[in-house]
Amino acid sequence: MTAVIAAAAGYLLGSVSFAIVVSRVMALPDPRSYGSKNPGATNVLRSGSKVAALLTLLGDGAKGWFAAWLAFLLTRDLSIASVAGLAAFLGHLWPGFHRFAGGKGVATAAGVLLGIDWRIGAGTIATWLIIAVFLRYSSLAALVAAAFAPLAAFVLLGAGAPFLCILAMAALLVWRHKQNIARLVEGSEPRLGAKKPDSAPSGGAP
C-alpha cells in the first residue's frame, strides 16, 4: 500500500511540466508549438531564452529527485523510493495535467537517479555532459547516458527493484528518442541551441 501511495504521489509530481509552466510565466510560446514540439529544456532553449531553458531543466530535474528522496525519507526503503521516482518519470512522459503529452524525460530521469543513489546520478550526468559538450547533440548524450545508468545501477546496487526501475526508465527514454535516433542516422539531427529553420517559435504564450 505504501508503494502505491508513493507511486501515485510521484506521478502527480512528475505530471507538472516545467517547460509549459515556465513558458507561460515568462510569456514565451508554448514549447509544444515549435521545434521538436517536445516540452523539455532543449526545446525551450530554441525559444531563445536560456533562462527559461535553465529553469525548465532545474524544475524537471528537481521533481524527479524530490519524488525519490521524499519517498526514501519517509520509508527508508530504496525500492519504494525507486518506484516513486519511476512514477515521477512516467508522469513527466504522460502528464495528467497536460493531456498526457509530455517530454522525453532526460532531466527528470537524472533527478530520479540522484534521489536513488547520488553516485549513479552524478555518473550519468557526467556522461551526458561529456557527450553534449564535445559533440553538441543532446539526444545522443541522452542515449549514451541511458545506457550508462542501468549498468552503474547493477554494479552498485545489484539486480533488485532499484535496478529494474532504472532499467525501465532507460528503455523508455531510448524509445522516446526513436525519432532522434533516425535523424542521427540521417545526419539531420539539430545540435544543441540550434533552431529548426521551418519551425522557429513566434508570438507569445497562448
> Does the pLDDT of residue 53 top 60, yes or no?
yes
pLDDT band per the 50, 70, 90 thresholds, residue 196: low
Q: Is the pLDDT of residue 49 over 90?
A: no
- Residue 201 pLDDT greater than 70, yes or no: no
Whether 10 contacts 85, CB under 8 Å: yes
Interval 122-175: pLDDT, tens: 999 999 999 999 998 888 999 999 999 999 999 999 999 999 999 999 999 999
Determine the average pLDDT of the residues in 19-35: 89
Can you say whether the dihedral through the CA atoms of 170, 52, 100, 67 is positive or negative?
Answer: positive
pLDDT of residue 61: 96
- HEC readout, 54-98: HHHHHHHHHHHHHHHHHHHHHHCCHHHHHHHHHHHHHHHHCCHHH
Give the pLDDT score at 194: 59
Task: Summarize the confidence of residues 58-79 as an average pLDDT.
Answer: 96
54 or 40: which leads in pLDDT: 54
pLDDT computed for residue 195 by the predictor: 56
What pLDDT score does 198 carry?
46
Contact 44, 195 (CB under 8 A): no
* Percent of the chain residues past pLDDT 70, beyond the cut: 93
pLDDT band at 204 (very low <50, low <70, confident <90, very high): very low
The average confidence (pLDDT) of the chain is 90
Rounded to whole angstroms, how far apart are CA atoms 174 and 187? Answer: 18
Model pTM score: 0.88
Q: What is the mean pLDDT of residues 2-12?
A: 94
- Per domain, the residue ranges of the chain are 2-186
- Split at pLDDT 50, 70, 90, the class of 116 is very high
pLDDT at 206: 30
